[in-house]
Structure 1
Amino acid sequence: MSSPVNQQTLEWMAEREKSGSRHVVTVGEHQVVWRQFGSGSPLVLIHGGHGSWLHWARNIEALSKDFSLWIPNLAGYGDSSDPRFDDFPTMVDVTAECLTQLFGTGSSFDLAGFSFGGLVSANVAAKGLPVRRLALLGPGGHGGPRRERGKLINWKRAETEEALIEAMRFNLWAHMIYADEQIDPFAMGIHTYSCIHTRFRSRGISGRGLLGPALDDYSGETMIIWGEHDITCTPEYLMTHMIEGHSGRQGVILPDVGHWVNYEASEPVNALLKNWFKEGRVGL
């Protein structure tokens, strides 16, 4: 089977690599690859499970005009080394140590995480790192009910390239993206590349209620962005259990989009993140 990642995505990756820099941070037995784009105050973007730095593909150009973006492939993802662990606390520790090596112990930075990366980000912030502001996009670990759109297809069993592409397309529709027209070749390429380069199992971790305790331990301001049709939880549950009654937390529900809000609704998400991290303001 030839490479299942389409040429458009491969060319975009090659061009983007030329515009940034690549850094390898060693933590014990792990080599974690980070990509840096733009200049300004540091903003860290952490991808989701079955993901990679490409989860932020539609955000890099806009945000790098105002921030110095630091985007990892977490340990066990993308071109970072295989994980020598299968537990969540070690994932958090490795990520936190990377940030300490990159920024030191006294320099503050902003932090945003998508899906499983939102859960990682909240727990990194809870460890007392100098996170100035936190933004979570469709975060995992909320402990709330899912609303399945369709049963995911095991793409690893695909015997032909056509079957693999169809499985990836269906899974994007079932889990990640609400609007059919947003399941474009670029989204397909990102999802395919990210899935086939994932070696860490995050799904069981994201299903546990690990987000609330982490946010309770983080003393800074938090914004949570949620898609109206996110299948991983209802907006009502999120607002009731994660936002209401918690000072310093604000929630935004984006209409007509699904789980992967930073792709499907990239323009409003970029505006929200800029306003949040530059001014501490929620709104477009």
Structure 2
Amino acid sequence: MVEVTSGGATDVETDFAAEADAIVGGAEAAAVVDRLASEARFFLTDVDGAQMVWRRFGSGPAVLLVHGGHGNWLHWVRNIEALAAHHTVWAPDMPGYGESGDAPGAELPVLVAALVAHYAQLPDTGEIDVVGFSFGGLTASHLASALPQVRRLALLGPGGHAGPRRQQRALVDWRQAADAEALAVAMRHNVEAFMISDPARIDALALLAYTDACRHARFRSKHISRAGGLADALDRFGGPVLVAYGENDVTAEPERVLERLVAKRAGREAAIVPGAGHWVQYEAHAAVNALLLDWLAR
């Protein structure tokens, strides 16, 4: 493990300027990301020659944030500071995402094993809480029984539930965009179709974070999220679990999933966040930050 004191400026991050140029308000959004990145302590772990990037914020009881598919640490851009006021927050890019190196394989057990090996190189690997979003929720459910000393688990819009989905609008292939402006249009369409329920809440920061995450994702997670496995992973963990969905999450029917995963299960709690879509911790960040802080303080 190597700590990098520069705050994490890498070749990947130099793309922010080009991405921001095509977004109305993009320069201001990039400044928000740059400021947040400057507040981090930046760590690199290395397993078999593959590096993984970790950002650490704040101090206090440790929390690991596991981003979603087509994601990176910016899935938590509106949550890190609230959590870091009370916790040591680890916000990595998983292998195959963001600034980290490629994953050693294409399946979930391989990814989980790699995460465990990288995590073991971090300083102060004592008790920790784990919070996961979307595909990262499914990943976090497996990590909860694979990492040492996981206290409690919180899942936001987790994949792997094996139930029906409610997506009505098809995503567009942003890779076919002819220029930066077309890319920005495609990304906004996909955010509105999949991530955020209320179009009025799609701001420049959401578009910049989503664009950067998608452009640097190499690990393909869709088939894993749709294959199930969440219920079994939670049973293996056996500890306290919070499962929350946005009311309008297109990746699930929240009431049905929560009935199956949470109802009448000791140590498990459910929440549905009104008016929010899949990227619930962004769209309804104030409500979700309060929910997480309460859960983590138990």
Q: State how far apart, in whole Å, the 1-side matches of 2:157 and 2:99 are.
A: 24
Note if 1:192 corresponds to 2:211: yes
| Aligned match of 1:3 | 18
| Aligned match of 1:21 | 41
Note if 1:54 corresponds to 2:74: yes
Deviations 1:161-209 (A, max 9, x none): 2211111001001110001111111100000000001111011111111
Question: 1:128 deviation in Å?
Answer: 5.4
Note if 1:141 corresponds to 2:156: no
Question: 1:82 deviation in Å?
Answer: 2.1
C-alpha RMSD over aligned residues: 1.5
| Aligned match of 1:282 | none
Q: State how far apart, in whole Å, the 1-side matches of 2:218 and 2:248 are.
A: 28
Note if 1:272 corresponds to 2:291: yes
Question: 1:83 deviation in Å?
Answer: 2.3
| Aligned match of 1:251 | 270
Native 8 Å contact 1:226 1:252 kept in 2: yes
Instruction: Name the count of aligned residue pairs.
Output: 278
Note if 1:201 corresponds to 2:216: no
Q: State how far apart, in whole Å, the 1-side matches of 2:147 and 2:213 are.
A: 30
Q: State how far apart, in whole Å, the 1-side matches of 2:272 and 2:101 are.
A: 36
Q: Which TM-score applies when normalising by structure 1?
A: 0.94
Native 8 Å contact 1:27 1:98 kept in 2: yes
| Aligned match of 2:52 | 32
Structure 1 alignment gaps of length 5 or more: 280-284
SS in 2 for 1:224: strand
Letter in 2 for 1:98: H
Native 8 Å contact 1:96 1:129 kept in 2: no
SS in 1 for 2:121: helix
In the TM superposition, what are the counterparts of 1:1-284 in structure 2 within 5 Å?
3-5=18-20, 6-102=26-122, 107-127=126-146, 129-279=148-298
| Aligned match of 2:23 | none
Structure 2 alignment gaps of length 5 or more: 1-14, 21-25
C-alpha distance 182-146 of structure 1, shift in aligned 2 (>3 A): same
Native 8 Å contact 2:67 2:134 kept in 1: yes
Question: 1:234 deviation in Å?
Answer: 0.7
Native 8 Å contact 2:246 2:273 kept in 1: yes
Letter in 2 for 1:278: A
Q: State how far apart, in whole Å, the 2-side matches of 1:26 and 1:178 are.
A: 38
Deviations 1:194-234 (A, max 9, x none): 00011110111111111111001002100011101000001
Letter in 2 for 1:201: R
Q: State how far apart, in whole Å, the 2-side matches of 1:29 and 1:175 are.
A: 35
Q: State how far apart, in whole Å, the 1-side matches of 2:33 and 2:294 are.
A: 27
SS in 2 for 1:3: helix
Q: State how far apart, in whole Å, the 2-side matches of 1:265 and 1:40 are.
A: 24
Q: Percent sequence identity over matched residues?
A: 42
